Amino acid sequence: MRFGGGCWSGERSAAGARAHVSTFEGTPRFEIVRRLGVGGMGAVFEALDRERERHVALKVLTVENAEALVRFKREFRSLQSVHHPNLVSLGELFAQGDVWFFTMELVRGIDLLAHIGAVKPFDEARLRAAFHQLGLGLAALHRHGHIHRDIKPSNVLVAPDNRVVILDFGLVRAEGEPIETSPDLVMGTPEFMAPEQAMGAALSPASDWYAVGALLYTALVGEPPFVGPPMSVMVQKQMQDPERPSARVEGVPPDLDALCMALLRREPRARPSEAEILKQLYVELRKDDRTYLTLPTHPTAERFVGRHETLAALDEAFDRALAGQRRLVFVTGGWGIGKTALVREYARQLSLDARGPLVWSSRCHEREAIPWKAVDMLMDDASRFLLRCPAAELGALLPDDIELVARTFPVLMRVPAIAERPPGAYDALDAHERRERLFAAVRGLVERVAATRPLVLVVEDLQWADADGVSLLRAILLPPAETRLFFIGTMRADDAFVYAPAGLVDGIEPEAIAAVHLPPLSSAESIDLAEALWPDADAATLRRVVHQAAGHPLFLRELCLQRGPHALKLNDALRARIAPLPASARAILDVLAVSESALPQSLVGELAGVEWGDAEAAIAHLRAARLARTVGLRRTDLVEIAHDRVRNAVRDILLPATLRLLHEKIAHALVQLPRASVEVLADHWLGAGQRGRALACVLDGAERAVELLAFERAVTLYDRALELCNAGERPAIEALAQAARLAAQP
C-alpha cells in the first residue's frame, strides 16, 4: 500500500508524473515575489496581481500528469463558490499554454499547533478559540457537500488577527463521489486520516472529524494518537483505541478529553454529530459566523420538489433523441430560480434510467480564464468514461486524431490507450487546419460514444461560455449525424427569448431546439419544499412563508432557515441576514441597493468608501451570500443587487439622509460614465432631492435624441420632463414635445 498526500503535503509525487514546470516566472499580470512552498505535484508562490493591485497566493501545477490535472481542476471548481472566513478564498483558474495555476487568498500565518503551543503547558483559551473556528470552517465545507480528506497541522493556518483558515483542497471530494485513484494508493496523511480512509471505504464528514480529533489529541498531548511507520499507524487505528490524553499528560480539561476520544472512535457512526461537536467547541459566536452558517448550501444538498412539467418536457426531448433525432433543450430563468437544481435532478433520474444513458456534465465558471471553457469539463467526464471502458471496446471509440484532442485536453492522457499512442505530426499543419481536425475529432469521439449508448451532454451557465468553447460545442451539436445525442444547457436570462450564447445554434434546424423558461414554483411546489425545509412548522406558518416567497426557491429557503418571527416576512428574514454583515460588505450592499443599474466593481468600492482590495473581498462575500451578482471579476466588470426584493429590504432600513447622499454620489459618478441611462441618472438626481438637475438631465437627453433624428426617443424623454417640471416650465417643454411628435410621424 502506498500513501499520497495533497499537492503540498510532502516530497512524494504521483506515480508516473514527471517534472513539467521546474520554475514559474509569472505572467504579465502576476509578478512572482517568492516561493511559499513546494510539494509532489505543485508549488505555491506569493505574487503581486498587477491588475487588482494586491498580493495573492498562486498555486501552480508543476507536473505533467493527467491525473494530477484532474485533481487540480477539481480542487478549484469544488471550492470556488464556497465562501467562509475559516476557509481560504479561491480566486481565478488560469491555463496559459500548458501551465495551469489558480489564485487564492494570501494567508500570512503560522500553523495551528504553533499558534496553540503543542508542548505543555498549551494555551487553553487559544486552543478552544482555534478549534471552534476550525469546526465552523469544516462545517461550512460539509454543508456544501464536500469532504476535505487531509486535515492536518500544516493545512490549518492562524493569521495574525487569530483567524483560523483551512487550506489545501487538493484531496477534496463530494460526499459519495467515487475515488478514482489506484486501489493500492491511499491519499491523505496517515497520522491524521480516519481508519475508513486508509481502507478505501466510503467517506463522510465523520472522516474529517476524526482528523480534527487527531489534531486535538496532538495539541493536548504533543504528538498524534498513533506514531510510527505509515503502515503501522494504520494497522493500530484499525485494531485499537488510543490512550486517553488525560492518561498521558496532566491538566487536560475533562470536556476536551472526552471530545477527543469521541472523535477518534473507529466506527464513523459512533462519532458525535456535527451539531454536538460544534456545541462542545462553542465559544462566543462572532457575528460574521452567524452569517456564513446560514449561507445557501450546494444545490445537490437539498431535496428537489416539483417542476413536473419541465421534467416531462425534458423526458419527451430525450425520447426523441433515443429515436435518433438530435435534440437541444435550453433551460433559462432569472437568478436563483432553480436551473441548476433542475438539470442536476434530471441527470440523477437519468442515471437510474433502465435504458442506460451516459451523462457528461460541464459548467462554465465565471472565475475561469481557460481555453475551451464550455467543453473542458465534458472532456473530463469523457476521460473517466474511457478509463473504465474495456480494452476490447476502446479502439472503436477513439477517432483518428484522438492525440490532437489529448494535446488540447490533457486529462485524456490518463487513458493508457491514448497516452501510449505515438504523437501525431500536427505541428506541420497550419492553425486553421489543426482547429478543423480538432473539431472533427471531438465530434467523432462524441458520436462514436453516442452510437453505443444514449449520451446526454449538460452544460450549465452558458452565459459564462467562451467563444472558442461555443464554437466547439456547436461543431459537436451540428447535424446530420443520427446518433442518440441529447443536449441540455442552462443560461441565466431574465428575458425568455435569450436562451443560448450567440452562434451556438447557428446551422441547427429550429425543430431540434426547445427553450424552457423556468417560472417561479407553484403554490403546491412551494408548500412541498417548505415542508421539507421546515418539517415541524404548522400549516398556517407554511402558507405565510410560501406567500412571502412568491415562488422563489432561494427566498423560500431563506424564510425557512430563520425558523422564528423573521420567517413570517421576507423583508425581516433578509434584514436578519444583512444585519451581521461586515462593515465593508454592508457599505457596498447599500450602494448596490440604491443604484438603479449595474455598476463597475471598482466604482462601487469608491462610492462605498472601501479600498479596492477590501471591496473585492466584500463583493465576493455578497455574491456567496446570494445578495449580489456579478458579470465578471475585474475592476471594470459589473456588479448589481441580486434581486429587487433584496434591494427593497436594504432600502427600507436606510435613513433618508443616507439614501439621499447615496443617490447624489451615484448621480455624480454616472455623469462621468459613457452611455449612462438618462432615465436612471434623472431618477438618482430626483432621489438626491435635486429636481432641477433631474429635469436638466432629461431635457439634455431629449435634445441629443433630436440631433440624432431619434424623434420617438425624444418624445419619451420630453414626456418624462413634463412629469418633472413646474408650472412655469411646462409651456416651453410641451412645445418641444409637440415638435418631436410631429417629426416622428411618417
Active site members: 150
CA distances from 222 to 114, 133, 203, 225, 250 (A): 11, 21, 27, 9, 12
H/E element holding 206? helix 205-221
* Residue 223 three-state SS: coil
Contact at 8 Å (CB) between 48 and 31?
A: yes
Pairing of strands 173-174, 358-363: unpaired
The residue behind cell 486524431 is: 401
List, in order, residues 6 or more apart from 107 with CB less than 8 Å away.
57, 88, 157, 159, 165, 167
CA distances from 361 to 345, 377, 548, 596, 744 (A): 13, 7, 34, 36, 52
CA distances from 312 to 202, 307, 308, 342, 430 (A): 34, 9, 6, 12, 47
Question: What is the rounded CA–CA span in Å between residue 217 and residue 256?
Answer: 9
Question: What is the rounded CA–CA span in Å between residue 90 and residue 39?
Answer: 19
Question: What is the rounded CA–CA span in Å between residue 555 and residue 337?
Answer: 10
Question: What is the rounded CA–CA span in Å between residue 692 and residue 642?
Answer: 31
Question: Which residue, 446, 453, 526, 486, is CA-closest to 343?
Answer: 486
Question: What is the rounded CA–CA span in Å between residue 237 and residue 228?
Answer: 12
The residue behind cell 483505541 is: 241
